[in-house]
Amino acid sequence: MKKLLLLFVIFSIILIGCSANAEPNQERLQNIKDNIGSYDNVMKYIEDEISFDPGKRIKYKGHNFYHYTIQLKASNKFSELNKDEKYYKMVDILKTVMADYPIDDLYCETKKTGCFIHYIEVTSGEDTYTIDYEERENDYNYTININSDEEYRPDEESRKSSASVDAYFKQKENSDTETSVDNKDGNDWINLTENQKFHAVSNSLYSLDEQGYTILEGEYYYIDALDAFYSDNTTRNESVSMALASVGTMSGTIYK
């Protein structure tokens, strides 16, 4: 009889523990995932993996609350950003998601249980960037948390020159379009971002086209070739313009 009573108590505890688990509305979760996957300004910087972490349960006056984190994995494009740029991209991601989901409620389907979006998190290599899911008047009023032990905002000068996320990245994009291969060697090439490489090659191909050359391939063909060429340390002192011309000649894809 005692054994049966003990089993009943254990079983009851298990049931109570199970009933305390968060069960957010799955349709809402999928809708959020689908919409994030459709944001061009977000998906350029993250991989396709999107998940939700309920975090630890918080008990208050007989109710259970879960503060969910939307977990995203950074793409190479995010990893290439500097610290300030990562800050502004985190704000950009947050504002984009909040534009469609200003209410953080995930409509938990378990009684006396609340499920809410509390953070957005981007993992980049060994680093994790987290931002609170909340509305702010100005972009630079946000604080991001890096690896749970560093709170970060851009310095005052950066804030003055970056009144908004849109302005910041538009300014960056405009500066990248002016990148050229002139006076650059392999050491310079390997330090360019993917966007800068694209515009550097694109500007060179445009110049060659204006000079009457026939070009059979697009920018990414030559970017891949230059990346491979400069992967060897012994070639890093070669100029990018000469290397590009050599690739075009040897592959027969640039001629006059």
| Structure tokens given for 76 | 């190479």
pLDDT at 159: 64
Distance between CA atoms of 129 and 230, rounded to whole angstroms? 32
Contact between 45 and 38 under an 8 Å Cβ cutoff? The reply is no
Tens digit of pLDDT at every position of the chain (256 positions)? 433 333 333 333 333 343 445 678 899 999 999 999 999 889 989 998 899 998 888 888 888 899 999 999 999 889 888 888 899 899 999 999 999 998 888 888 888 888 899 999 999 999 999 999 988 877 778 899 999 889 998 877 566 555 577 777 777 777 778 889 999 999 999 988 888 898 899 999 999 999 999 999 999 999 999 999 999 889 999 999 999 999 999 999 999 9
Radius of gyration of the chain (CA): 26
Contact between 71 and 121 under an 8 Å Cβ cutoff? The reply is yes
Amino acid identity, position 145: N
pLDDT at 134: 87
Pairing mode, strands 63-74 and 113-124 = parallel
Backbone angles phi, psi at 17, to 5 degrees: -65, -40
Contact between 193 and 80 under an 8 Å Cβ cutoff? The reply is yes
Alpha helices in the chain (DSSP H): 2-19, 26-36, 40-43, 76-79, 83-100, 156-161, 165-176, 186-189, 194-210, 219-229, 240-251
Which residue in 45, 212, 14, 209 sits closest to 124, CA to CA? 45
3-class SS of residue 95: helix
Which residue in 127, 72, 109 sits closest to 94, CA to CA? 72
Distance between CA atoms of 113 and 66, rounded to whole angstroms? 8
| Structure tokens given for 207 | 């110049």
Contact between 22 and 91 under an 8 Å Cβ cutoff? The reply is no
